[in-house]
Amino acid sequence: MDGNILKPVDPNAETDPFSSKLVDAINSPKSITFANTPQDSNDFIDSFNNGTVDVGDLQSLSGDIYKSSVLQFTAERLSVDDYSSYLQDYSKEIAGKKWSDELNTLYGNKFAPTVSKANDAGHKAVEDYLKSKNPDKKNIK
């Protein structure tokens, strides 16, 4: 995604919340990565730390679940100041190593604040989307 390339044909046309959020993401000055992986990958839908998206998993989801998943991983990646640098830093530290408690101790604390911030942004995006689809429901969290 590269900023300021998508504009509505009719700026007065009403758009749904999903489309509006995607247009906002596309028009963001930030660039984020969506590297497609095969459906049989170990990633379920996406991997924040690898920059991957399992399109096969996405295609198997129902409409609103699909949309909320796309909004979640898009918001997570946009929440990072420089997602490409994060991916490079993460891959340099972790490349070729099997994840373990030892690695979590060595590197988990280094990456935890970024991952936590991204998770919060992703959860908020899903919550906002579900609330927009169900405005009379007060207990969506």
The pLDDT value given to residue 20: 85
The pLDDT value given to residue 41: 66
- The candidate with the shortest Cα–Cα distance to 35, out of 22, 19, 48, is 48
Partners of 37 in the beta sheet?
54
Amino acid letter, residue 50? N
The pLDDT value given to residue 121: 95
Q: pLDDT (tens digit, 0 to 9) for every residue of the chain, 141 residues total?
A: 344 456 667 777 777 888 888 888 888 888 887 888 877 667 678 888 888 888 888 888 888 999 999 999 999 999 999 999 988 988 887 766 666 656 666 666 678 888 889 999 999 999 999 888 888 876 665
Q: Tokens representing 67?
A: 């949309």
Structure pTM? 0.79
Place of tokens 């590297």: 35
**How far is it between the farthest Cα atoms of the chain?**
55
- The candidate with the shortest Cα–Cα distance to 48, out of 23, 24, 69, 17, is 69
Give CA angle at 118 (115, 121), nearest 5°. Answer: 155
The pLDDT value given to residue 2: 41
Q: Tokens representing 4?
A: 């300021």
